[in-house]
Amino acid sequence: MPSPRVAVAPDRAPSWVRDAVVAGGGQLVDPPEAEALVWVGGPDAGSFEPVLKAAPGARWVQLPWAGVEPYAELLDPARTWTCGKGVYAEPVAEHALALALAGLRGLPERAAASAWGSPGGRTLFEARVTILGGGGITEALLALLAPFRCDVTVLRRHPAPLPGARRVVGPDQLEQVLPGADVVVVALALTPETTGIIDARALARLQDHAWLVNVGRGGHVVTDDLVAALAAGAIGGAALDVTDPEPLPEGHPLWSEPRCLITPHTANTQEMARPHLVARITENVRRFAAAETLVGLVDVDLGY
């Protein structure tokens, strides 16, 4: 079985990326000679496009992130594309659970307190949880929620059953799965259909103690609508690992909102991601060499 010719870009890519390619049986080459391309640069299509053009023979392209929306205009159906979907599922699910617990227990307010205050908080045990999205993050989160005996509803494009979810519904059921939820977790791919899915109408359907947790993309939430809902006390609070805009500017109203907890897109850090991404690159290079189905395939038409 010949070694596939694989280019790694950008030039400043860390050595462990090249080591991962070699471990999978790949031969490192420059982009013009490549039949496969591993891109580990930032989500900047402007810097990626010249590399892509320099590798016209690259039949397969590996992208580093789960979300591929920055590259949407470059997703050529003539190539096979894979991304980091599923690679970061467990750490992101862990973060979502931490945010949910922090919100329900009132930790954002208590962390800023300078006096004893009054007791409060809710338990996650036997709570009603609605998760928007049915990918790897949701699968990992369902496993983490199992000990809490939560009543979980999942909304996904294809409403096939998922272990740990009491029911799975399609996108047309959004307005039906928000009322009654104690926690709503957003773990979706960002597409034109999901952009702004949490807007004033959706927020109005939540209970006044419900917490919104967003570990998807900032664009899933209409920020001004969330600010208004929090200011009015219409929901219990919001825990956000992603925002729109991102990074959230200093002085933005969400920073001073006592029932809002913001982490700077750290549900998955480079330290957490590295061993998982190494394994993904190595496995996909091996599969490419063996003409096997690759892991983390991108559906160019759907955009994720």
Does the annotation mark 69 as catalytic? no
Does the annotation mark 217 as catalytic? yes
CA angle 69, 74, 77 (to 5 degrees): 105
Does the annotation mark 265 as catalytic? yes
Report yes or no: 48 and 41 within 8 Å, Cβ to Cβ: yes
- Coil, helix or strand at residue 279: helix
**H or E stretch including 6?**
strand 5-9
β-sheet with 27-28: strand ranges across = 27-28, 5-9, 36-39, 60-62, 80-82
Rounded-to-integer distance, Cα 171 and Cα 155, Å: 6
Burial class of residue 5 (count of CB atoms within 10 Å of its CB; 0-12, 13-18, 19+): middle
Nearest-10 Cα torsion for 229, 201, 220, 234: 20
- Residue 88's nearest CA partner among 299, 270, 297 is 270
CA angle 73, 78, 82 (to 5 degrees): 70
Residues shown for the chain: 304
Secondary structure letter of residue 211 according to DSSP: E
Q: Which among 246, 257, 283, 286 is annotated as catalytic?
A: 246
Rounded-to-integer distance, Cα 294 and Cα 32, Å: 22
Q: Which among 217, 220, 280, 287 is annotated as catalytic?
A: 217
Report yes or no: 26 and 285 within 8 Å, Cβ to Cβ: yes
Q: Which among 18, 59, 122, 265 is annotated as catalytic?
A: 265
Helix residue ranges, H only, the chain: 15-23, 45-53, 89-104, 107-111, 136-145, 174-177, 200-204, 223-231, 253-256, 270-289
CA angle 107, 148, 110 (to 5 degrees): 5
Catalytic residues, by residue number, are 217, 246, 265
